[in-house]
Amino acid sequence: MVPIRALIFVSLAAAVPVLAQQDPRIGSWSLATAQASLDPPNKLSVTPVGDQLHVVMSGDRHFDFIAKANNHSSPAPGNLGFNQIELHRIDKRQSEVKEMKDGALVATVLVKPSADGKELTSTRTIAGQPDQITVWVRTGGAKVAHDPLAGEWAEDLSKSRLHQGLTLKITPDGGGGVRFLADYSYDARFDGKPYDLKNSRNDTVKLQLVDPHTVAAVYLRDDQVTQKDKWVVSPDGQQLTVTTTGVLETGQHITETLTFKKQ
């Protein structure tokens, strides 16, 4: 088993520029229907994060989730009325969103941008109720996703049991991936696939996004799982908590938590 210093690193992927160019939904939008007089007005943003989309709506109704457009059910915790999302690209201009709660379908939303890309129409269908049609007007173009883990981090010795003085650097690679540098290094994407580690006794790492501020990682050696990490960034983006579980070469199971401060 790797030593504790080598047990502690993973990251979130950066935005994919190609995705931003191909998906007409990406950008920022403002409500254009009769409800536009709401204070505060409803705002919608669709931002690429790796090979996924980060969708946020604020105003009188709020939701926030990250999901892939591949019919795969993605967790959407903390949202009113649903806790799972499933996205499906029908064609280049249309997509379907399924809102689900504990596996049961709550609503289906058909999303269609206008031919000129200036408007976005969503039709929300709930069984036994009239369709809800909402029109949004574009207020901004595609934006690069903010990666809350990107930057330089130093171990907060006042909050960590193990005083190792760990530092780590996480940077986007500009191509939909991330570069990580600490006691060991890697280049990886946020797609759940294995990527090689350098200067580590583990062979590969797989990255998955739990929610916009939480990352899960699985480390493997000889195709066997040796370690699992959970990374959580604080709402203000200034603190990173890493919880690691693994098995030592002696067979002893360990759980360790470290806290980092953004530099």
SS3 235: coil
pLDDT in tens, 246-262: 877 677 788 888 888 88
Strands 95-101 and 224-233, by their bridges, are: unpaired
Measured in residues, the chain has a length of 263
Residue 161 CB contacts under 8 Å (≥ 6 apart), including other chains? 256, 257
Structure tokens at 225: 């799982």
pLDDT in tens, 130-177: 988 888 888 876 544 456 677 888 888 887 676 667 888 887 766 656
pLDDT of residue 59: 67
pLDDT in tens, 187-200: 887 778 899 999 88
The answer to whether residues 138 and 118 touch, using CB atoms and an 8 Å cutoff, is yes
pLDDT in tens, 94-142: 888 899 999 899 999 898 888 777 888 888 899 999 988 888 888 876 5
Domains of the chain and CATH, by start: 4-15+145-262 (2.40.128.20), 27-140 (2.40.128.20)
pLDDT of residue 220: 92
pLDDT in tens, 41-89: 578 888 777 667 888 877 666 778 888 767 778 888 777 788 888 888 8
Residue 2 CB contacts under 8 Å (≥ 6 apart), including other chains? 200, 201, 202, 219, 226, 227, 246
pTM, entire model? 0.49
| Integer Cα distance of 133 and 55 in angstroms | 18
> Model confidence at 218, in pLDDT bands (50, 70, 90)?
very high
Q: Which of 32-41, 156-165, 171-180, 234-243 is the most confident on average?
A: 234-243
pLDDT of residue 166: 80
